Amino acid sequence: MIERSICLSISLCVGLFPQSVFSAPPDFVEGEVLVVFKPAKGNAAARTALDRHSLSLARQYETISRKRGSVCGLVRGKNLATARLIELLKADPAVESAEPNYLRRIFTRIPNDPDFPKLWGLRNTGQTVNSKVGTSGVDIQFPAAWKLARTTPGEVVVGVMYTGIDITHPDLAPNVWQNPRETADNGIDDDGNGYVDDVHGYDFAAGSAAIHDSIGHGTHVAGIIAAAGNNLTGVTGVQYRAKILPLTVTSNGDSISSSAMIAAMEYAMALKQQGADIVALNASFGGSFSSNAERITIEALRDASIVLCVAAGNETTNNDFIPSYPANYPTSNILSVAAITQNDRLATFSNYGATTVDLAAPGENIYSTRPISQTATLATSVSVGGISYAALPLEYSGITPAPGLTGTIHPCGLGYPADFPAAVSGNIALILRGEITFSAKIANAKNAGAIAAIIYDNTADPLTITGWTLGAAGSWIPALQVTQATGQSILTQIPASSTVLHGKNLALAYQFLDGTSMACPHVAGAVAFAAFNFPAESLSQRIDRINNNVTLVPALAGEMTTGGRLDLLKIVDTDGDGLPDWWENETLANLAQTATADGDGDGFTNLDEFLAGTNPTDPASHLAFSSIATASDGAGRHFVLTFPSIEDRNYRIEWSGTLQAGSWRDLGEPVTGTGEILKVRDLSALDNAESRFYRMSVFPD
pLDDT in tens, 25-75: 457 888 999 999 998 767 888 888 888 888 988 888 988 888 888 899 999
Does the pLDDT value for residue 609 go beyond 90?
Answer: no
**49 with 33: CB under 8 angstroms?**
no
Residue 108: the pLDDT is: 43
Name which of 265-269, 514-518, 661-665 the model is least confident about.
Answer: 661-665
Span 326-347, average pLDDT:
97
**324 with 92: CB under 8 angstroms?**
no
What is the H or E stretch that residue 390 is in? strand 387-390
Does the pLDDT value for residue 118 go beyond 80?
Answer: no
What is the H or E stretch that residue 452 is in? strand 452-456
Residue 636: the pLDDT is: 63
Residue 234: the pLDDT is: 86
Question: Over the chain, what is the mean pLDDT?
Answer: 86
Residue 13: the pLDDT is: 24
Does the pLDDT value for residue 243 go beyond 60?
Answer: yes
Residue 329: the pLDDT is: 97
What percent of the chain shows pLDDT beyond 70?
Answer: 92
pLDDT band per the 50, 70, 90 thresholds, residue 133 = confident
What lies within 8 Å, CB to CB, of 232 at 6+ separation is none
Question: What is the edge-to-edge ordering of all strands in the sheet holding 157-162?
Answer: 202-203, 243-248, 157-162, 278-283, 307-311, 334-340, 359-362, 564-565, 551-552
- Of the two residues 603 and 487, the one the predictor is more confident about is 487
Angstrom distances, CA of residue 328 to CA of 305, 346, 414: 19, 19, 56
Does the pLDDT value for residue 638 go beyond 80?
Answer: no
- Closest among 414, 488, 485 to 453, alpha carbons compared: 414
pTM value surpassing 0.85: no
pLDDT band per the 50, 70, 90 thresholds, residue 634 = low
Residue 265: the pLDDT is: 97
Residue 107: the pLDDT is: 44
Does the pLDDT value for residue 203 go beyond 90?
Answer: yes
53-75 burial code (b ≥16 CB/10 A, e <16): bebebeeebebbbebbebbbbbb
Cα–Cα dist 143/135, whole Å = 17
Residue 152: the pLDDT is: 75
Name which of 64-78, 256-270, 421-435 the model is least confident about.
Answer: 64-78
pLDDT tens, position by position, 475-532: 789 999 999 999 999 999 988 889 998 888 888 899 999 999 999 999 999 999 999 9
- Closest among 166, 371, 178, 161 to 247, alpha carbons compared: 161
Span 111-135, average pLDDT:
70
pLDDT band per the 50, 70, 90 thresholds, residue 556 = very high
Q: Which of 22-36, 247-261, 314-328 has the highest mean pLDDT?
A: 314-328
Does the pLDDT value for residue 278 go beyond 80?
Answer: yes
Does the pLDDT value for residue 446 go beyond 50?
Answer: yes
3-state secondary structure of 485: helix
Residue 117: the pLDDT is: 43
pLDDT band per the 50, 70, 90 thresholds, residue 153 = low
pLDDT tens, position by position, 341-376: 999 999 999 999 999 999 999 999 999 999 988 887
Span 199-216, average pLDDT:
91
Does the pLDDT value for residue 81 go beyond 60?
Answer: yes
Residue 505: the pLDDT is: 82
Span 173-200, average pLDDT:
90
